[in-house]
Amino acid sequence: MGNSESGIVDKLPPNFPNDIKFYHFHNLCNTCYCNSVIQLLLASNYVSCFFKNLFLVTKEGKALVVQEILQSPLFQLLQIYQNSVDDSNKEREFFIKPIKFLDSIYRETDQFTKGQQHDAHEFIIYLISSFDEVIKKFNDIHGKTLTPPFSKLFEGVKATCFHCELCENDKERQEPFISLDLGILPQSNLQNLVDESLFPEIVEEDWKCDNCSQKSEAQITSYMAQLPPVLLIELQRFKYNRQTQRMEKNSEIVKIPNEIHINSGSGPQNYKLKAIICHIGISLFHGHFIAFSKVDEKWLLANDDNLNVLDQITFEQLLEGRNVKYQYVPYLLMYEC
């Protein structure tokens, strides 16, 4: 989808800010998963600041960057970003074939294969881990932390407390997360799904207490011990059906609010919606990924190299499947505090 190099600047509404950059990423044979993830990352204010700081560290001669690091996915993406925001570059939109970035992925792992369809959620989780590995090498070369881990932007901590009904013992377990993975309920709202993921639940007699070593009922309560500045949420659209031996898609409409509220150990946190990756199609391996990102109270629809600016009403109609040819099913959401 979207093969012609048709610009978007001439189609922008009046008084649209002229400092916003637009990225048209070409689909290089089933690379929509990659294009949509890049659009999502570049929509984040925190990611932009991270890239700016990393570039300054290297540009000012404070850091040695070896060839292995320069050819990594992180620095290939940094180069794409920096070429567009360089002060000497007055262009507002960029038509990009991310060949070097994709080649760096293919060299680094066999998890993603050239020419095949892949999962956007798996891809962004991989990228965050890959970026951290490169940053560690980068810092190790210099013997000090010049740049913090990329994952710090996305990493939160979820605490789970197990209360034994027999001995009254409480045990808390804390686990870091990069994305909140939420199940889908009929006619649901994202805020409700977040809230329900933290509701208390009862585990019956298949649970064994570490304190009294007895099997009993346990009450499980969860809370957010720490929330990240950038909150990724995956709606669990794809599940394996043992009977059909296939990955099946749940296309249930979920209402996506512009703001969500989550309580944490440090108090309530408000998040604003910045970007969404949607899936079009019948299954994970027979479909297409596109991205929406918030741009000056409008929404940018990025369908590979084809870009369109939408108002809030049109954006909501697409997400709710109203008056559209394709159902744009929200899959991966990015909120920022």
Full set of structural domains in the chain with CATH:
18-336 (3.90.70.10)
> What is the band of 63 on the pLDDT scale with cuts at 50, 70, 90?
confident
Whether the pLDDT of residue 24 is over 70: the answer is yes
> What is the band of 323 on the pLDDT scale with cuts at 50, 70, 90?
low
Q: What was the pLDDT predicted at 31?
A: 98
Q: From CA 253, how far away is CA 187, in angstroms rounded?
A: 7
Q: What was the pLDDT predicted at 135?
A: 97
**Separation in Å, CA 336 to CA 16, 110, 114, 119, 333:** 22, 32, 32, 23, 10
Average pLDDT, integer, range 64-75? 92
Whether the pLDDT of residue 117 is over 50: the answer is yes
**More reliable by pLDDT, 10 or 331:** 331
Residue 263 φ/ψ, nearest 5 degrees: -85, 145
Helix axes 73-85, 32-42, angle to 10 degrees: 60
Whether the pLDDT of residue 332 is over 90: the answer is yes
Whether the pLDDT of residue 4 is over 70: the answer is no
- For 138-173, the pLDDT digits (tens) are 999 988 898 999 999 999 999 999 999 889 999 999
Q: What was the pLDDT predicted at 3?
A: 40
Q: What was the pLDDT predicted at 1?
A: 37
- For 256-313, the pLDDT digits (tens) are 999 999 999 888 999 999 999 999 998 888 899 999 999 999 999 999 999 999 999 9
Average pLDDT, integer, range 172-191? 95
pTM of the predicted model, to two decimals?
0.93
Q: Which residues are CB-neighbours of 75 under 8 A, at least 6 positions away? A: 65, 69, 134
* Contact assessment for residue 183 and residue 238, using Cβ atoms and an 8 Å cutoff: no
Whether the pLDDT of residue 62 is over 90: the answer is no
> What is the band of 205 on the pLDDT scale with cuts at 50, 70, 90?
low
- Mean pLDDT estimate for the chain: 92
**Separation in Å, CA 193 to CA 41, 162, 199:** 24, 21, 10
Whether the pLDDT of residue 78 is over 70: the answer is yes
- For 207-264, the pLDDT digits (tens) are 889 899 888 888 999 999 999 999 999 999 998 888 887 888 999 999 999 999 999 9
Q: From CA 52, how far away is CA 211, in angstroms rounded?
A: 50
